């Protein structure tokens, strides 16, 4: 049986992968590594893991994702997002492993107003996006086999995310103001996990970058409105411009990702974000998870 190592196994995508893998018949053995046992900055420890498991695939979900904090904690963001990715890329090359690396819509500046393609120019406007872009570049330089998957607005029943923040606020707030001029696509981590498992189960390999988010377009205001509508929560929402909700880091105003290349190359069906939101809320309702 071939081995798969999941770095960042204690994050929301890691937990989503664990759930998908648990419901899937597989010829692969998945090993989920948290930040301690799977430290992407400890090269000696990483080398031992590669020697022990001889993995066919590495899935790198490990990332510094605190977008605002990254503006001040620059070294830590680049260490994990760039150096960590480089370390895994080099080891994958040396051990003939395929690296599936999770990247972000934040590698773009948000100026374009039509769906962003993989070959569009990158131009991050913050430390987080730049650190993730440098990670992508390091992986390509390593010459390992890889799939870089850029995603956006990730949420799930696990961890901390916008969906769970809205549900928590609705417990005590009757009205909320939500930014309406940042546009992208909410992406259910369970769906992204399904695609990752699809790549592995079908022994896919290559050296390429793909965009994966759910289908459809929404602002954060649209996302919040749909959350409350589906969850049947009585919360009054006010749409506000970004300038009324200042943050340390700038966000792309438009980050809708084109999935045309992924659909063409893999003939893969991607759910609409509204359908996936209903699925996620049903999962939370039927089996509340505090992780």
Is residue 170 situated within a structural domain?
no
| Helix H or strand E encompassing 16 | helix 12-22
The CATH number of whichever domain residue 142 belongs to comes to 3.40.50.720
| The residue count for the chain | 291
Q: Is 86 helix (H, G, I), strand (E, B) or coil?
A: helix
* Residue 135 confidence (pLDDT): 98
Is residue 224 situated within a structural domain?
no
CA 278 to chain centre: 19
Is residue 86 situated within a structural domain?
yes
* Residue 288 confidence (pLDDT): 58
Based on the residue annotation, tell me whether 268 is a catalytic residue of this protein.
no
How many domains are contained in the chain? 1
* Residue 285 confidence (pLDDT): 87
Instruction: Spell out, as residue ranges, where the chain has pLDDT lower than 50.
Output: none
Is residue 111 situated within a structural domain?
yes
Of the CA atoms within 13 Å of residue 77, those in its CB half-sphere come to 19
Instruction: Quickly count: other Cβ atoms within 10 Å of residue 190's Cβ.
Output: 23
Is residue 228 situated within a structural domain?
no
Specify whether the CB–CB gap between 36 and 3 falls below 8 A: no
**What is the domain extent for residue 82?**
2-160+185-216+255-272
pTM: predicted TM-score of the whole model, two decimal places = 0.97
Is residue 178 situated within a structural domain?
no
Specify whether the CB–CB gap between 58 and 92 falls below 8 A: yes
Instruction: Quickly count: other Cβ atoms within 10 Å of residue 155's Cβ.
Output: 25
* Residue 291 confidence (pLDDT): 55
Catalytic residue among 30, 57, 128, 155: 128
Is residue 129 situated within a structural domain?
yes
Is residue 196 situated within a structural domain?
yes
Distance CA 205, CA 187 (A): 24
* Residue 286 confidence (pLDDT): 82
Distance CA 98, CA 274 (A): 32
Residue 258: which residues within 8 A CB-CB, separation 6 or more?
Answer: 115, 116, 117, 118, 211
Instruction: Quickly count: other Cβ atoms within 10 Å of residue 73's Cβ.
Output: 14
């Amino acid at each position: 049986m071939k081995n798969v190592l999941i770095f960042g196994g204690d994050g929301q995508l890691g937990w989503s992968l664990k759930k998908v893998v648990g419901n899937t018949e597989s010829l692969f053995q998945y090993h989920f590594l948290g930040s301690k046992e799977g430290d992407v900055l400890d090269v000696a420890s990483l080398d031992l893991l590669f020697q022990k498991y001889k993995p066919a695939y590495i899935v790198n979900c490990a990332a510094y994702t605190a977008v605002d904090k990254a503006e001040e904690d620059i070294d830590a963001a680049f260490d994990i997002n760039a150096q960590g990715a480089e370390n895994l890329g080099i080891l994958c090359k040396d051990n003939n492993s395929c690296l599936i690396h999770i990247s972000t819509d934040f590698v773009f500046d948000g100026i374009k107003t039509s769906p962003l393609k993989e070959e569009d120019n990158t131009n991050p406007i913050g430390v987080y996006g730049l650190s993730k872009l440098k990670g992508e570049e390091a992986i390509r330089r390593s010459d390992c086999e890889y799939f870089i998957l850029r995603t956006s607005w990730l949420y799930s029943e696990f961890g901390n995310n916008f969906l769970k923040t809205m549900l928590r606020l609705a417990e005590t707030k009757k009205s909320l103001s939500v930014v309406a001029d940042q546009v992208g696509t909410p992406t259910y981590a369970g769906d992204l996990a399904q695609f990752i498992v699809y790549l592995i189960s079908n022994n896919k390999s290559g050296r390429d970058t793909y965009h994966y988010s759910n289908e459809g377009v929404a602002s954060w205001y649209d996302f919040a409105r749909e959350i409350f509508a589906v969850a049947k929560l009585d919360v009054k929402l006010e749409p506000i411009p970004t300038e009324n909700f200042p943050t340390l880091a700038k966000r792309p105003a438009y980050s809708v990702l084109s999935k045309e290349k992924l659909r063409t190359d893999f003939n893969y069906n991607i759910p609409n974000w509204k359908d996936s939101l209903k699925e996620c809320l049903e999962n939370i309702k039927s089996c509340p998870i505090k992780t």
